Amino acid sequence: MGTIDPFYALSSSESSLVIDCRNGAPAILYWGARLADGTTADMLATLGTRQEAQARVEKEARIGLSPEAGAGFPGGPGIEVHRDGRQWGVFSRVESVASGDDSLEIRSACDATDIDVVHRLCLDRNSNVLAATTEIINKGNTNLSVVSCSAPTIPLPLHLTEIVGFEGRWSSEFQLRTVSRFPGSYLRENRTGRTSHDAFPGVVLQTPHTSERLGESLALHLGWSGNHRVRVEELSDGRAYAQLGELLFPGEITLAPGESYRSPTLYGVWGEHGVGHVSRCLHRYVRSHLTAKRVRGKAKPVHFNTWEAMYFDLSLERLCRLADKAAEVGVERFVLDDGWFRNRKSDKAGLGDWYVDETVFPDGLTPLVDYVNGKGMEFGLWLEPEMVNPDSDLYRAHPDWVLQADPAPRLLARNQLVLDLTRDAVQRYLFERVDALLSEYPITYLKWDMNRDLSQPGGEDGRVATHHQTLALYDLLRKIRDAHPDVEIESCSSGGGRADFGILAHTDRVWTSDNNDPIDRLRIQNGFSVFFPAEFMGAHVGPHRCHISGREVSLATRAGVALFGDMGIEANLLELSTDELAELEAAVSLHKHNRDLLFSGELFRLDMPGHEHGLGIVSTDRRQALFLYALLDTMPHSAPGRFRFDGLLPNRRYSIKIVWPLAPESYSTSILDSIETSPITGDALMNAGMQLPIITPQSVLVFQLQAVD
Ligand code: GLA
């Protein structure tokens, strides 16, 4: 055992993290604003001196990176293990610490349970994002049952009393709700077997005064596409902590001697300049650490997706006509959605039979792909490899290949069951099918869908398979990417049911939501943007009457909202008038003109009243920006308020141009008539703000700013 220092510190441009390795297991002593040079860990330790309180234990268990049951921790233990009911009382001591420039690997040994615990922490200097995992290794000579092993636990500064969590459902993902911390646990558990629509594994802790622009916040996210648990607990002794980890079913993980389990990675960032700043840190991290190298800096092509235009009613002739129109409006990638494979005339049959349907495409996909390529567009294809319909050749041949909870009847959702990806035969079959399609056709993009929960997640050996299924999915994606490195993959799960940093490491785009209603979308995209940058946010122009909400919204608004993400079109182009096609073409061109800015710039969400929405993307050199203003609903006053820009350089003068809609309408002479006339300083734009014009509800304005000197 080497010498172990009492404290270890990591620092980034804006924050410091100090780990306390004294007296047993490691703990976070401090995580917050970057400490002054003169501040020592001893000072922090002195400031944290606790005392024995009435009617409590003599020696309070600390909130360690993995709080310990053996030390009497009264909250959620970081690690819960046992050997046939015994050896459960985790109580460890640090054995070694390896420290790198911006990382620490702390190994502790627990004699009570015969495990080693390894905590790995890495604080990225540039983005301020902490990435942290907990690993346990079975050092004993019997099997170890793992009940839970959370990522490192974060003690919370008590003034961060507000908890911003994520909720939602299909077509209404990433809805934010703030609650005040209370004695006891704020607990969100996800047993859907995918990241889920309703419980995104993330949380933001902040003060009651934190806004987009101002105040402290701490954002935490578990990068994992399976089950999870998010807990924020205020203990009766006055302390509070946040703990995120994988949620394991009984018996799901048993470690044989020598085997190990590593928690999913916890990503976190602390900041003092509003939630907006924390998001920008996370976006910077995603861009530098999770975005695949081959798509970094690449202009992401504008999509056309066939789903809402055609559903299952596919014909080569109509697809080619759609491709004509798509090319005309500037689309760069044509994506054939569901319905192209054998036995797939509706969502009742065919999943699993990944062979081109000869009744629709007698000569395979080649005529369509050639046609699309001939129009100058790439070709993309929809697949849902993890699923099978009972009415499919695959299921008829292998009814045992699905996850189940036998003898309970197999529970269908969207008429489908989930394949057990942990079986070699299933992996081989799926890889072979996807590989064959990608080898036969020049496909540059897969929309990888996954449309149901793992409601009955039993594997071949009778144990719950969700953990291994999630890893098996990552493996399958890795194998496909290794074999076809240039193919981009989108993570879709009935919209945004599988969006997390775990899947981002294997995919290049997220289908944010099936809901293309721009008014709903603004709310969905707002929540999505807390953790994810715009280039991952699939955003499509849907039909005039949204198929999901039934709301009818102008093309100007639909396009204005979509152009701030990875833009695409899903409306039936064959139904659009010449004027509408021209308008759409202009929106696509505006997006293309600005996509470098959108996909490398920094996002500023604006604090606005509930009936309005505002955001901007500002280039990192602050010389260019694109801002969106949306009036969602009827105004409470006869005129709106001011639009306070953000992220600009105070002393620079910016010219402002209204670039969308093509012909902005204003009730009477307004700011729209004067704003373009002379440049204005960033200072005035941000602090005085611009009086908004009176526009009709459900309409948008897009402002382009350019530094002039
Ligand atoms: C899911 C996706 C949609 C579409 C359909 C096809 O619902 O989220 O975008 O691809 O499947 O069945």
Ligand 1 pocket member 30 (CB < 6 A): no
In the reported structure, the alpha carbon of residue 511 is separated from the centroid of ligand 1 by a whole-number distance in angstroms of 9
Ligand 1 pocket member 514 (CB < 6 A): yes
In which band, very low, low, confident or very high, does the pLDDT at 485 lie, cut at 50, 70 and 90? very high
- What percent of the chain is predicted at pLDDT more than 90? 98
Per residue in 7-50, pLDDT (tens digit) is: 999 999 999 999 999 988 999 999 999 999 999 999 999 999 99
330 φψ region: left (φ > 0), alpha (ψ -120 to 50), beta (else): left
Ligand 1 pocket member 490 (CB < 6 A): no
The mean per-residue pLDDT over the stretch 498-523 comes to: 98
In which band, very low, low, confident or very high, does the pLDDT at 115 lie, cut at 50, 70 and 90? very high
Q: Are 202 and 598 in contact (CB under 8 A)?
A: no
In the reported structure, the alpha carbon of residue 345 is separated from the centroid of ligand 1 by a whole-number distance in angstroms of 14
Ligand 1 pocket member 570 (CB < 6 A): no
In the reported structure, the alpha carbon of residue 380 is separated from the centroid of ligand 1 by a whole-number distance in angstroms of 14
| pTM flag (> 0.85) | yes
- As a whole number of angstroms, the distance between CA 262 and CA 428 comes to 26
Q: Are 52 and 62 in contact (CB under 8 A)?
A: no
Task: Measure the CA angle with vertex 160, ends 159 and 161; round to 5°.
Answer: 90
Identify the three-state secondary structure at position 575.
helix
Ligand 1 pocket member 128 (CB < 6 A): no
Task: Provide the pairing of β-strand 488-491 with 509-511.
Answer: parallel
Specify which residues 630 forms β-bridges with. Answer: 613, 700
Q: Give the number of the atom of ligand 1 that is nearest the alpha carbon of residue 494.
A: 8
Residue 450 DSSP class? -
Ligand 1 pocket member 497 (CB < 6 A): no
Backbone φ, ψ for residue 526 (5° rounding): -60, -50
- What percent of the chain is predicted at pLDDT more than 70? 100
Please tell me the predicted confidence (pLDDT) of residue 225.
98
Residue of the CA atom closest to atom 12 of ligand 1: 338
Strand order in the sheet with 154-155: 154-155, 240-246, 228-234, 184-190
Task: Measure the CA angle with vertex 202, ends 249 and 610; round to 5°.
Answer: 135
Q: Are 162 and 206 in contact (CB under 8 A)?
A: yes
- As a whole number of angstroms, the distance between CA 481 and CA 500 comes to 19
Closest of 150, 130, 171 to residue 18, by C-alpha: 130
Is it the case that residue 292 has pLDDT exceeding 70? yes
Q: Are 454 and 410 in contact (CB under 8 A)?
A: no
For residue 34, what are its two tokens? 């970057």
The maximal CA–CA distance of the chain, rounded, in angstroms, is: 82
Q: Which long-range contacts (CB under 8 A, 24 or more apart) does 422-427 make?
A: 422/459, 422/460, 422/465, 422/468, 422/469, 422/472, 423/460, 425/398, 425/401, 426/401, 427/472, 427/475, 427/476
Alpha carbon separation from 230 to 153, 202, 352, 531 (Å, rounded): 11, 7, 34, 16
Please tell me the predicted confidence (pLDDT) of residue 293.
84
Q: Is 367 exposed, middle or buried (0-12, 13-18, 19+ CB in 10 A)?
A: middle
Ligand 1 pocket member 304 (CB < 6 A): no
Ligand 1 pocket member 464 (CB < 6 A): no
In which band, very low, low, confident or very high, does the pLDDT at 529 lie, cut at 50, 70 and 90? very high
Is it the case that residue 2 has pLDDT exceeding 90? no
The mean per-residue pLDDT over the stretch 623-643 comes to: 97
How many helices and strands (H and E) does the chain possess? 13, 38
**Residue among 452, 453, 494 to mutate when testing ligand 1 (max atoms within 8 A of CB):** 494
The mean per-residue pLDDT over the stretch 495-506 comes to: 98
Residue 72 DSSP class? T
Please tell me the predicted confidence (pLDDT) of residue 456.
98
Per residue in 454-484, pLDDT (tens digit) is: 999 999 999 999 999 999 999 999 999 999 9
The mean predicted confidence, pLDDT, of the chain is 97
In the reported structure, the alpha carbon of residue 550 is separated from the centroid of ligand 1 by a whole-number distance in angstroms of 18
In the reported structure, the alpha carbon of residue 449 is separated from the centroid of ligand 1 by a whole-number distance in angstroms of 7
Please tell me the predicted confidence (pLDDT) of residue 380.
98
Please tell me the predicted confidence (pLDDT) of residue 295.
85
Q: Are 95 and 108 in contact (CB under 8 A)?
A: yes
Q: Which amino acid does the sequence have at 328?
A: E
Closest of 308, 305, 284, 313 to residue 296, by C-alpha: 284
Closest of 106, 117, 97, 104 to residue 2, by C-alpha: 97
Please tell me whether the peptide bond between 407 and the residue prior to it is cis, using omega within 30 degrees of 0.
yes
Q: Give the number of the atom of ligand 1 that is nearest the alpha carbon of residue 493.
A: 8
Identify the three-state secondary structure at position 323.
helix
In the reported structure, the alpha carbon of residue 438 is separated from the centroid of ligand 1 by a whole-number distance in angstroms of 20
**Residue among 307, 510, 570 to mutate when testing ligand 1 (max atoms within 8 A of CB):** 307
In the reported structure, the alpha carbon of residue 35 is separated from the centroid of ligand 1 by a whole-number distance in angstroms of 49
Closest of 653, 645, 611, 607 to residue 626, by C-alpha: 645
Catalytic residue positions, numbered: 449, 514
Backbone φ, ψ for residue 126 (5° rounding): -75, -45
Please tell me the predicted confidence (pLDDT) of residue 542.
98
Q: Which long-range contacts (CB under 8 A, 24 or more apart) does 391-396 make?
A: 391/343, 391/348, 391/349, 391/350, 391/415, 392/343, 392/349, 392/350, 392/351, 392/352, 392/353, 393/342, 393/343, 393/352, 393/353, 394/351, 394/352, 394/353, 394/429, 395/352
- As a whole number of angstroms, the distance between CA 312 and CA 299 comes to 30
In which band, very low, low, confident or very high, does the pLDDT at 82 lie, cut at 50, 70 and 90? very high
- Tracing tokens 């809609």 back to the chain, one arrives at 661
Ligand 1 pocket member 338 (CB < 6 A): yes
- As a whole number of angstroms, the distance between CA 434 and CA 26 comes to 45
In the reported structure, the alpha carbon of residue 492 is separated from the centroid of ligand 1 by a whole-number distance in angstroms of 8
Per residue in 348-392, pLDDT (tens digit) is: 999 999 999 999 999 999 999 999 999 999 999 999 999 999 999
Residue of the CA atom closest to atom 2 of ligand 1: 494
Q: Which amino acid does the sequence have at 16?
A: S
Ligand 1 pocket member 494 (CB < 6 A): yes
Please tell me the predicted confidence (pLDDT) of residue 1.
54
Q: Give the number of the atom of ligand 1 that is nearest the alpha carbon of residue 347.
A: 12
Per residue in 234-275, pLDDT (tens digit) is: 999 999 999 999 999 999 999 999 999 999 999 999 999 999
Q: Are 173 and 527 in contact (CB under 8 A)?
A: yes
Cα-Cα end-to-end distance for the chain = 61
For residue 268, what are its two tokens? 């976190």
Q: Which long-range contacts (CB under 8 A, 24 or more apart) does 596-599 make?
A: 596/299, 597/624, 597/625, 597/626, 598/534, 598/535, 598/563, 598/564, 598/565, 598/626, 599/300, 599/533, 599/534, 599/535, 599/566
- As a whole number of angstroms, the distance between CA 302 and CA 592 comes to 8
Per residue in 426-450, pLDDT (tens digit) is: 999 999 999 999 999 999 999 999 9
Q: Are 330 and 373 in contact (CB under 8 A)?
A: no
Task: Provide the pairing of β-strand 624-631 with 699-707.
Answer: antiparallel
Ligand 1 pocket member 307 (CB < 6 A): yes
